[in-house]
Amino acid sequence: MCLRAQTKRRRHLPPVEFHARDALPPCVPAGERWTQCISNRTFKSKVIQLVIHRLTSTLGNLLSGDSQCLIVDYQGAPVRFSKIAPPTPLTGPTMSAPLGEADVKFVRYADMFEKLQVDSVDGDSIPIALLHMERGGLGQISVLRLETKLKEEKDAAAQAAKKLKLATGSSAKRPARVYEYVDIRLLFEALRCMIIPQCTGRVPMTSHDGHEMSMLVCLIGLSGSDFTRGLPLVSGKTIHDYLPAIWTRLARAYDTATRQLDPDAALDMLVSAIYRRKFEKHCCIGGGLDEVLSSIGTSSLSVKTRERLPSRATLHCTVRNVNWLLCYWHQPDYPDPVQPQFGFTKDRKGVRFDA
């Protein structure tokens, strides 16, 4: 099941026709042709099956001892391969649950092993691991990912490249990719003990102890993810900058019993505050979301900006999408998203947003 929202603009490439009866090409397609092919679901599935076949058929070269094993977790129950035993399906409640994408599968291995290193290109692995830890997950998780660069660092690098070009007439070489390790337990403690208390003025919010990561995921969902559209005209950096002003409002909209947002409360207390602060020079009144959007919509902002303002129905749908994201990123038995509670509908092209 795929609910991926097209949140980033990509140069359009015509789709490639590839069916289940077709064989993979003898050579790996190059350049844009590879992008076209790997975007085809059937082609990608056949590539994965080929990789698994090659891995499991060359175990002698992959494993250095009898104590090592290879676990393939692709479709159905995970299977353990080793040199000294036949392939064995892994059993247990967390192993038999249909966990969807690889993004949400890795945490079940954190409970199996004392230490786990996750090699991840997608940034979703970090909030997923934080949710796992918040809800009593075991194991020490480290995520290997591309190094995070602050805006100041990017600006400094751009200025240095510009000076080099002016001085020498040649452009600087593209820097090599730099990776970093993220210690999830250390990040978890820093967020709970250092960052979030700053958002409450160091006043303890005991009613929401043990829910801080879930609340952060709510904000991540509102800033845009694979399964949520994000708030129009509002970036993730904007939401981060507003944290001290909106955290207590988020707490009032977040139900600790259900670990979900109350959609109407979230709109009138949290989302309205974000838009009011974003457009404070053009929003002359307070109140709930309807009043804030109406005030901004009749302001002196450009017509183009005012036309991008969302409706209450659209934002209500987005909040319900966020509630499903909270379930999907943590629960092995996550609910079906195609129901009014979560704001998704299904058509011939797949699962899409309701409004």
Final residue belonging to a domain, choices 173, 199, 225: 199
In terms of domains, do 174 and 229 share one? no
Give the tokens for residue 294: 């109406």
Give the tokens for residue 179: 């990776």
Residue with tokens 């990719």: 177
- Could you tell me which residues are beta bridge partners of residue 182? 143
pLDDT in tens, 208-226: 999 999 999 999 999 999 8
Q: 179: part of which helix (H) or strand (E)?
A: strand 179-183
Please state which of the ranges 200-204, 238-242, 250-254, 290-294 shows the lowest mean pLDDT. 200-204
pLDDT in tens, 230-239: 999 999 999 9
In terms of domains, do 114 and 180 share one? yes
- DSSP assignment of 98-112, as one string? ---SGGGTTHHHHHH
Angstrom distances, CA of residue 216 to CA of 120, 127, 331:
20, 8, 17
Final residue belonging to a domain, choices 199, 228, 256: 199
pLDDT in tens, 63-100: 877 788 899 988 878 899 988 888 999 887 777 666 66
Quote the pLDDT of residue 1: 42
Task: Give the number of other Cβ atoms within 10 Å of residue 22's Cβ.
Answer: 12
Judge whether 20 lies within some domain.
no
In terms of domains, do 289 and 262 share one? yes
In terms of domains, do 218 and 334 share one? yes
Do residues 260 and 329 touch, judged by C-beta distance below 8 A? no
The answer to whether the Cα torsion of 317, 235, 221, 250 is positive or negative is negative
Report the distance separating Cα 314 and Cα 312, nearest Å: 5
Final residue belonging to a domain, choices 160, 183, 199: 199
pTM value is 0.83
Range of the domain at 294: 202-355
In terms of domains, do 239 and 354 share one? yes
In terms of domains, do 172 and 238 share one? no
In terms of domains, do 349 and 213 share one? yes
Report the distance separating Cα 100 and Cα 2, nearest Å: 9
Backbone angles phi, psi at 300, to 5 degrees: -90, 10
pLDDT band at 327 (very low <50, low <70, confident <90, very high): very high
In terms of domains, do 107 and 228 share one? no
